[in-house]
Chains A and B, each alone.
Chain A
Amino acid sequence: QVTLKESGPALVKPTQTLTVTCTFSGFSLSSPGVRVAWVRQPPGKALEWLARFDYDGSRFYSTSLKTRLTISKDTSKNQVVLTLTNTDPADTATYFCTRMIDSGWAFDVWGRGTMVTVS
């Protein structure tokens, strides 16, 4: 069974760096075709794609946030980590970790999300 679980601080001060961790099970990020992404959702607002990490180490970022985002993996711990620098209250959101389908651009398994407030 594929599961993903997000963790991170509930509160971050403006200008600080936000770090959220996705711990997954049921698949290997080393297997060909596997990709993990981060999506966020401000309270009462729409979803926003942030970044993607591929099995081969390739990384892709949202155009609007790429200067502030870094996505990485810890293979030994089955984790994908997202950092967002120079935070602002507008970064307050639930941050979701999601696995992507084998090909194409869709997100088939999601974690429950972790809510981070920047204040």
Chain B
Amino acid sequence: QSALTQPASVSGSPGQSTTVSCTGSFDDIGKYNLVSWYQQHPGEAPKLLIYDVLKRPSGVSDRFSGSKSGNTASLTISGLQADDEAHYYCCSYAGLSTVVFGGGTKLTVL
């Protein structure tokens, strides 16, 4: 299966909102509501932000929200903060008990 497509970078100013897109195909994002999103700061392990397209684990700020339309999933971060500067990865179930990750997006808070 091919990796999901994410923009290499996005940016935003503190307090603004920004959206990271994740484009796949009908065989992964399009067919299944099993998209998750992860935040990774340099030198750290990824942190789960969103699962099942739009669910937030306990303890994750409600500034993070997820959605899906067709073969594209999106992560929206509202009220940008300096600590949001990190890499963000999407992930989708791709059938046959496998998953595929996106290439990652670097968020810069201006």
Contacts and interface: CB of A to CB of B under 8 A. Distances in A.
Do A and B actually bind? yes
A47 interface: yes
Interface residues of A, number: 21
A94 to B, nearest CB: 9
Given A105-B34, A105-B93, A106-B52, A46 B47 contact: no
B46 A106 contact: no
Contacts of A46: 3, 89, 101-104
B22 to A, nearest CB: 12
Interface residues of B, number: 26
A104 B101 contact: no
Interface string B32-70: 001010100000111110011000010000000000000
Given A46-B103, A62-B98, A63-B96, A106 B91 contact: yes
Majority-rule SS of A interface residues: loop
A45 B87 CA distance: 11
23 contacts: A39-B101, A46-B101, A46-B104, A47-B46, A48-B101, A49-B98, A49-B99, A49-B101, A63-B98, A101-B51, A104-B51, A104-B93, A105-B34, A105-B92, A106-B36, A106-B51, A106-B91, A107-B46, A107-B91, A108-B48, A108-B57, A110-B46, A111-B45
Interface of A: 39, 45-49, 52, 60, 62-63, 96, 101, 104-108, 110-113
